[in-house]
Structure 1
């Protein structure tokens, strides 16, 4: 937002320099990014009148001018400006003048003729040529008739001004206008605020029956006002208005268009002017565009619209894209006689989406995007009518057409002074709070020990008590808040036990060569179909995301499998065939009666392909037992005991005959197995893949927090092997449990070291070979003791499982 210091002084007294004003505004929360002195590089440039023009004797494209700048004698100036003419008042750079860019003007000769200065163009004065009439864009500036001669050009063109460039936060839409900034300056400096007085001279003709306004999309347009102006005289706007517009960064066009832009910069309410005679059926319809409907906008571009866009239409076709740009067919031209002024309040997000979709961003769309005051629409359109009448550019028809389906009322908020001081750490008197709020044009009524504050609709950023607290404190001065160190018990900064165990899990798994992955917590609802989950599966009961980034991230995950398999698929597609990955993340389980789901920390892993080949080890497939070995080592390192594995054919995403459930003290905490061939096909995976998923929180909860020291044994141990033949369906884990039970405390270790099925073993049977270690901590065991335990184990296996010693 560019704020003219001179223009600002029309609405508020400013007894400080621009630099001090910028500093105080910045400290109050309205940041001033830059201060620009418009004419600081211009010296000795004055107004002058071209009295006489003669042809240059030695050049066809140059002329010799006799110029009167208010001095005793006229000056001779040589110029090649194509638009110079006798009687014009121009900008004359005298000998010794300085121009932007470090240019200095001296006495010179052009093709043998002496020139005592230079007549200046807009560009030579550092101005944008597009802000001037077409003939002056390529030539020199021509000033209005009656401009005093010898005047400093900075004063005449408004270049004796200072521009404050504001960097506004998105919530301060009220400061996107000169009056809004003036209101803020008044509050900061404590000086009087003088908004423009508006009075509209109207004709006897009434607008009733001349114009009709229909709002078909009230959710996108809260208010629409139309005002009719007759007998328009299109001409350049007054010089003072052009100067103010140029200072604000707006290019002057014509008096009617300039008035709409002027009011937008002054009051913050965008306006639009239609050629009323081109509005078919004299009706304005605010509606959504039809799918594929087209309009040619003011920039002469045909735009394709869609049903998400809001348009202003007449009885037949769209005449403007609401809040973005008008239509070419209804623009103001030299032939315009009657004008319909528009002042409306459009939905900000809708304008933002439309402007982005069409690639059109303007000062008007910027203000609608940030939000305009619906109760300021009438004031703005009346101000425009007043200015048109004062310029003699038209006759104002009495009344307005105002369609305001849901009027917005001022908000009332209770402010507790005691709570403000407690929250902010201040000791601001209540009287000071009332004074600050009144300076901000927020009326206050003291009631008991609270303040009842009325918030006008132009302050849409104030909605709660804390917003009022911020207003008071920022005007009171953040620098006046006492600086105090927080009090409290100092604590040692370190990770919790759970965080330490998570780090340990990462360290163990990466030590096995697994790489950690992180996948999205949001997944595609189709993932459950890809995992072959039945309709009644609990895993399908997922939290639905209300505003998903895309359809592929529509629900919260209830398992890590989908994310891991997608990573595998992506890597296999890029020829990365040997993969060992793990992920540690939350799954989200809905809880009946609760707004938020239960988050469960889960560990997942997947392997596929071969292990890396070494000089002493061939590349071998990573199979079920490879992943199971990693899991067993992990549990052992975490100090987790009483774990076991049982067949688990019930998981639909896994191979029914190659899956095990992980039990902890008899209760399930996860699973491990081979991915089902159908699921492999759904993810377009080749070969075989093995996965595991564990409830990590439950495992960490029973892990050993402190490792206990145990001295090395003093007495030798005795090793024995036992190979037994059992039926195929007998589980090795069941045999192992029975061996440990019969071996008692003297059986220190038992290990399965061989599984065999072949020619020497009967069909339907298998041979399992175990290695035993018997050892006592207080004596050397005798052969008799070891033999008794060995026979006890053998007899128990034979009785319970029908196991026979293998010869």
Structure 2
């Protein structure tokens, strides 16, 4: 932001040199990028008075003038035709430098000596926008008599030191002259001379009968204020105002536009003026644009709007794009008799997006997009109409229309001098800290700092510490060796289980793979996932590299099978792979929050020699559970309804009531889709359960003191009876003395009735307190056999 130093000095007394000022402001947090001295090259230009004009004897278009410059009279030959005797004009003396670095020398023109040059405003580096009283082509003539011989640049305010500050986006309060004046006052511990705002309000009428305001989207427009000025006069603004605007990089237009720009620079609040005659029913409506709505802006371009953009409208039409630019249909002209001034607050993000969509970034939108304080709007509009009133450009109607649905209040942050000193390595008293904060309009109340609404960047005590550090002076803080508490770095339980899982799988002969979390929607077709499956509800990527990477995966199976397919295509006899990866499951579509992330252990293999099958995969899982020290019993329940799994060779894995995953053979059609002409087996387990069930605690038991007793059972059961059902029935009546049961034979053949199978178990009994008798074991066996007959309808086989 460019600030004329003379303007800054109106609000705070700065007596430091420019070099010191630049360094001090930078060290206190307001970084200075550059300092530009406007008009620095222009030298030796004084005020002169034309005493006499004579025709040049040898040139029709030249005249000879006698110029009084105060201490002497000089002769200058000129071709200007807009001068007359008695005019006060700027005179470049012998050796003077004008705009562009041109040096003026004493010379002869057609034989007549000329000791300088009469200057136009262009030769002083400006144009008629900056000095509208200057002629388009001709010598500049002072409107009023001036002191002869005085520096003309000083009178015209041509020379100015302009400081360019680099303001970070989290400091919207500094995007104004007053904001930087507050920083300068705090830096030098000087008083801030805030402009005194008072109004006569002599305009006739009742504002409530002239204007009404309705905000239809308070989230995008927290506040809207309107004031009315009557009997408006449109003319050039005063020279001092034009000078400040020009030095700040804004071109003067007319008095009303210049005043709104002046207040925007001074207070940081963008302003806008409407011709009230063009506002139907005098009603301002702040609303979202209609889809496809159009408006012609002040630059004469028709803009196409969409419903995400905010507009200012009357009951019949949009009259401005909120926070960006006004419309042609409501602009102030020389015919305007009454003006409605707007001072509003808009959502910064929405303004930034709107400006980007329209390709229309203005001074106003650049301010709004930083996030302005709605509480500054009222002072800004009063300052605006005060200038209109003081300069005689109109009469202000009494009162304002202020629509402010949700007022922004001050916030409170913890304030602990001890904690701040510890953080900074300083020893500053609480009183000194409070005094420094007071300079920034931050009050201290007990152990709380009261944060003004224009400082949204101050959210925690560390922010308060930074404010104190920059005012105290970073160069005053002693360099200290960093102190800290010694800690022992270690992995948490989750990381330990993940590492142990990977180690176990590697020890079991599996290779770890890592596949992309981004996938193609086509993967659902390859996996034969039904159209109504929740797995098809995936988070879409807004800027994908292509369709193949356009969604976040909801299953890891596509990556696993693709890797198996790659190995199969390279004729590897077998591939045993595993992956620890995440899936992303949206909570709702369209998404209003981030999807839930689940970590999945995916295991898969194929074996061209057909030596590894479902039971091999099950053994791998059991080994993994044993390695992770998981003792909870598991159940493998047959499952027929997983679309991409074989309907008769798949089981879900349960631990208690929790389903922790599934295991089985891939459906042949899915294998075909992945060009795997071999049976493939997979197991999917949610890591959440492995982490929850795994225990680092190991229990040791002493060797048994008493011998065990073993009994075998061979039984005929129907083919549909699972081993799980048999074992459950045995354990129900095994009692405390049943130590172990082992399946050692499953047989079907000519000796077995069709539809049945022979299943044989070895049961081991032991009592930790005594030696078991045959009678005690036989009684327990009778209970087990009776339960098996009742629940499963077994038939005992003779050995």
Instruction: State the TM-score bracket (shorter-chain normalisation).
Output: 0.5 to 0.7
Q: C-alpha distance in 2, partners of 1:635/1:36?
A: 77
Greater alpha carbon shift after TM alignment, 404-413 vs 322-331: 404-413
Q: How does 1:356-755 map to 2 (within 5 A)?
A: 356-445=356-445, 450-482=446-478, 483-489=480-486, 517-520=515-518, 532=529, 549=542, 557-562=553-558, 585-587=581-583, 601-602=599-600, 652=642, 654=644, 656=646
Q: How does 1:181-192 map to 2 (within 5 A)?
A: 181-192=180-191
| Aligned-residue offset at 1:480 | 3.4
**Which whole-Å deviations, capped at 9, do the CAs of 1:337-389 have from their partners, x for residues lacking one?**
22111111222222222222212212211222222222222211121112112
Q: C-alpha distance in 2, partners of 1:585/1:63?
A: 89
1:73 is paired with a residue of what secondary structure? Answer: strand
Q: C-alpha distance in 1, partners of 2:40/2:289?
A: 49
Aligned to 1:269: 269
Q: 1:352 to 1:534 in 2, by over 3 A?
A: closer
**Which whole-Å deviations, capped at 9, do the CAs of 1:191-230 have from their partners, x for residues lacking one?**
1110011111221623332222222332322222222212
Aligned to 2:144: 146
**Which whole-Å deviations, capped at 9, do the CAs of 1:110-160 have from their partners, x for residues lacking one?**
788876555666666555x58536897975684651263544344234343
Q: 1:679 to 1:321 in 2, by over 3 A?
A: farther
Aligned to 2:331: 331
**Which whole-Å deviations, capped at 9, do the CAs of 1:156-193 have from their partners, x for residues lacking one?**
34343222211112221111111111111111110111
| Aligned-residue offset at 1:528 | 10
Structure 1, unmatched stretches of 5+, are: 609-619, 703-807
Q: 1:633 to 1:332 in 2, by over 3 A?
A: same
Q: 1:664 to 1:366 in 2, by over 3 A?
A: same
**Which whole-Å deviations, capped at 9, do the CAs of 1:641-693 have from their partners, x for residues lacking one?**
99xxx99975836352898889999x999889887577699xx9778797886
Aligned to 1:218: 218
Q: 1:379 to 1:589 in 2, by over 3 A?
A: closer
Judge conservation of contact 1:674–1:688 (CA < 8 Å) in 2: no
Greater alpha carbon shift after TM alignment, 477-486 vs 259-268: 477-486
Judge conservation of contact 1:654–1:673 (CA < 8 Å) in 2: no
Aligned to 1:285: 285
**Cα RMSD, aligned residues only:** 5.8
Aligned to 1:313: 313
Judge conservation of contact 2:640–2:650 (CA < 8 Å) in 1: no
**Which whole-Å deviations, capped at 9, do the CAs of 1:531-561 have from their partners, x for residues lacking one?**
6169687x68x9x98x985799999755323
1:402 is paired with a residue of what secondary structure? Answer: strand
| Aligned-residue offset at 1:519 | 2.8
Greater alpha carbon shift after TM alignment, 654-663 vs 376-385: 654-663
Q: C-alpha distance in 1, partners of 2:639/2:21?
A: 77
Q: C-alpha distance in 2, partners of 1:243/1:39?
A: 12
1:242 is paired with a residue of what secondary structure? Answer: helix
Q: C-alpha distance in 2, partners of 1:577/1:381?
A: 79
| Aligned-residue offset at 1:397 | 2.0
Aligned to 1:97: 96
2:74 is paired with a residue of what secondary structure? Answer: coil
1:12 and 2:12 equivalent?
yes
Q: How many residues align?
A: 674
Q: C-alpha distance in 2, partners of 1:631/1:101?
A: 88
Q: C-alpha distance in 1, partners of 2:506/2:5?
A: 64
Q: C-alpha distance in 1, partners of 2:128/2:662?
A: 73
Aligned to 1:72: 73
| Aligned-residue offset at 1:477 | 2.7
Aligned to 1:168: 167
Aligned to 1:158: 157
Q: TM-score, normalised to structure 1's length?
A: 0.67
Q: TM-score, normalised to structure 2's length?
A: 0.68
Aligned to 2:83: 86
Aligned to 2:28: 28
Greater alpha carbon shift after TM alignment, 332-341 vs 500-509: 500-509
Aligned to 1:731: none
Aligned to 2:632: none
Judge conservation of contact 1:11–1:194 (CA < 8 Å) in 2: yes
Q: 1:430 to 1:349 in 2, by over 3 A?
A: same
Q: C-alpha distance in 1, partners of 2:316/2:37?
A: 50
| Aligned-residue offset at 1:410 | 3.2
Greater alpha carbon shift after TM alignment, 478-487 vs 363-372: 478-487
Q: C-alpha distance in 2, partners of 1:114/1:577?
A: 102
2:204 is paired with a residue of what secondary structure? Answer: strand
